[in-house]
Structure 1
């Protein structure tokens, strides 16, 4: 496929970025030349996946921008510089200080354009609708480089000025149906320019483990998510406490890291769950696979807004696990209640408790739900299929 593509992921690579690395490799397997771009380089401790070192080496970071390149562009193309400044000046309903801060994005856009020209890149796909989308819009204004965006969560968590960010984009993909509706409601984008393209997982890698029938009386529940209040770990802990009071033997493993760790650890102690809950911290993809294959149930009881189509849920489904998930973002797109998973209202501790109890008491239900989850993951969430959908969507508008 004759396409040279820029691929922009903010602060890449981080611990939740395994999907992007898979997608880049799938695009390359299609014959597409892909150059990775990012905003700023995160600390090396932000990603423990095996691909992290290679990803950092392959990524061009536009922040901090090269001041020599920026000044050279300003002197060579003063009119284009003014076009970029005008974009920021004309953004509505922001303060003078905010406009000044956004000027750094102009410098980043100049840096991006300069590197794209060196590599003959004429299209950049941005996996963000936050400030990185401003970089795409400005780069398009000051050059002939086209761009596209992917919305991964509720628009409200990606800042403001979405009409301005999106109006020049060739297309804006949404990872779920509700997110597509948000884009159409908030902007002048036409429906054909907002395709739904799911995120994907490696269904050949994430597979159910073939094992002998487990005669253990201990049930293993896992959550893979950053340690943030919105991920709802405490609701799982409350449900676990109630079930242990009933005499059920449950081990709960939490993989992920974040600033909410002290609060989670405090609640574990308060509920007397120290012997039942394991805090694993950030773990690499191989360890995630081993964790999922050792589990009986996966749970992600998130709250609020912002959750879209959690890749961790796709990975769990691919591993044949029954999944307990909040009704949030795009999870109703992913799970059909009681067919290939369980969808519960947010913060509904009695529902979480009852669902866990039902799964504990019925190995057959766990098996049937997990089998259906695996089938859906294979048919809908294979990353090679979703990467092909992305490249075809971009080429359609080129």
Structure 2
């Protein structure tokens, strides 16, 4: 059985269902999966509890802890001991050390820690920012594994986290990686701007479990009330304030709408204040953190999904937006701003509407159209389900990953 090592900084992150889904695909393809992470988050708080239990992901975790002693003397003694224990690796280590940007004790501990992963068939790096020290280990010939790197969005917006400049940051990774994966043509363009070799780039959309996310057979929706919903982190990039302001416009026109916001984040109090200032406390509801089963149920109980993501103040944009696909899988039409890679996740005029970014008049008018025309709403919902089954279902992307993993 071939082995895949997934490398990620923190796992499991609350908002990164797509990472979990990717690991499940590898397991279903018959690979032995291990997950190398710098920090193990509280699994009990994660929205993917059911998946963790079903596929035993907790037992596959490996903590990337170099166990570097606190005092300089102990660090020195342990480092010398590591080197003397494996004299056969001295040449490989010296080559690695010479190519490292950082010197001192860290490269010593990194190198000998990674000797445990020498025999993995594939190392799949999730987010380009988690490349170190794999890129140098591969560059110097120590690692023989095939290297696959998935870019998801923020890892291509420089300066990354307002700290990392673009100056050659991915040069080694682009040279040594066998395949560079992104989820939309939007991210492919960003990779090419950074001089990534086009022949290495593969576009694979984030998959949706269409057997789980599906329309309800018997609807419990009220005929006189239209439920709008947005799911995601409560922050500037996700743009929930535009959804709230659109609801204000709709209610002032006399339309009977209810707006659900699911998720948590740094903008929560700010958004609640906006709701209060607009007098929308009886129309906008905050659900807080929700599990995957709760996400599914909320979507099934709703009528229209509002994809409110916009460009934030540092220029970041949504790369795809998994929840947009999940909503369409549940038979919901989408109203979204045309930003980043969002346009690739729906068919404008058929499964939903794309609106000019941050244009509240356009955004609210498209929502109003769907509210007033239940036939159009149902037709778009049917189209949406079919679109996701054809383009984003596990079955539709399984062959692509089978080819990539090779």
Query: TM-score, with normalisation over the residues of structure 1?
Result: 0.87
User: 1:340 and 2:351 equivalent?
Assistant: yes
Label 1:32 to 1:45 Cα distance change in 2 as closer, same or farther (>3 A): closer
Aligned residue for 1:58? 60
Q: Deviation at 1:106? A: 7.5
Aligned residue for 2:136? 138
Q: Deviations over 1:270-313 (max 9, x none)?
A: 11111111111111110011000000011121111231111101
The 8 Å contact of residues 49 and 283 in structure 1, kept in 2 or not, is answered as: no
The 8 Å contact of residues 38 and 63 in structure 2, kept in 1 or not, is answered as: yes
For 2:274 and 2:252, the matched residues in 1 are separated by 16
Residue 244 of structure 1 aligns to a residue whose secondary structure is helix
Within a 5 Å distance, the mapping from 1:320-335 to structure 2 comes to 320-335=331-346
Residue 199 of structure 1 aligns to a residue whose secondary structure is coil
Q: Deviation at 1:208? A: 0.7
Within a 5 Å distance, the mapping from 1:272-283 to structure 2 comes to 272-283=279-290
Bigger CA drift: 23-32 or 377-386? Answer: 23-32
Instruction: Select which of 290, 295, 299 maps to 2:302.
Output: 295
Label 1:108 to 1:52 Cα distance change in 2 as closer, same or farther (>3 A): farther
Within a 5 Å distance, the mapping from 1:1-398 to structure 2 comes to 2-44=1-43, 47-50=46-49, 51-52=51-52, 54-62=56-64, 64-67=65-68, 73-75=82-84, 76=86, 77-89=89-101, 99=102, 107-108=109-110, 110-111=112-113, 113-117=114-118, 120-130=119-129, 132-140=130-138, 141=140, 142-153=142-153, 155-156=156-157, 158=160, 159=164, 160=166, 161-189=169-197, 191-212=198-219, 214-304=221-311, 305-395=316-406
The 8 Å contact of residues 40 and 61 in structure 1, kept in 2 or not, is answered as: yes
For 1:188 and 1:72, the matched residues in 2 are separated by 40
The 8 Å contact of residues 337 and 363 in structure 2, kept in 1 or not, is answered as: no
Q: Deviation at 1:60? A: 1.0
For 1:70 and 1:19, the matched residues in 2 are separated by 38
Label 1:208 to 1:351 Cα distance change in 2 as closer, same or farther (>3 A): same
The 8 Å contact of residues 22 and 383 in structure 1, kept in 2 or not, is answered as: no
Residue 287 of structure 1 aligns to a residue whose secondary structure is helix
The 8 Å contact of residues 224 and 254 in structure 1, kept in 2 or not, is answered as: yes
Query: TM-score, with normalisation over the residues of structure 2?
Result: 0.86
Structure 1: 4+ residue segments shifted above 4 A? 68-75, 103-110, 212-215
The 8 Å contact of residues 162 and 187 in structure 1, kept in 2 or not, is answered as: no
Residue 227 of structure 2 aligns to a residue whose secondary structure is strand
The 8 Å contact of residues 332 and 343 in structure 1, kept in 2 or not, is answered as: yes
Q: Deviation at 1:222? A: 0.7
Q: Deviations over 1:211-247 (max 9, x none)?
A: 2584531111111101111100001111111111111
For 1:71 and 1:387, the matched residues in 2 are separated by 46
The 8 Å contact of residues 3 and 32 in structure 1, kept in 2 or not, is answered as: yes
For 1:109 and 1:387, the matched residues in 2 are separated by 34
CA-based RMSD: 2.5
Between the two proteins, the alignment pairs up a number of residues equal to 378
For 1:106 and 1:180, the matched residues in 2 are separated by 35
Give unpaired runs (5+ residues) of structure 1: 90-98
Higher relative contact order at CA 8 Å, sep ≥6: structure 1 or structure 2?
1
Aligned residue for 2:74? none
For 1:214 and 1:289, the matched residues in 2 are separated by 15
Give unpaired runs (5+ residues) of structure 2: 70-77
Aligned residue for 2:73? none
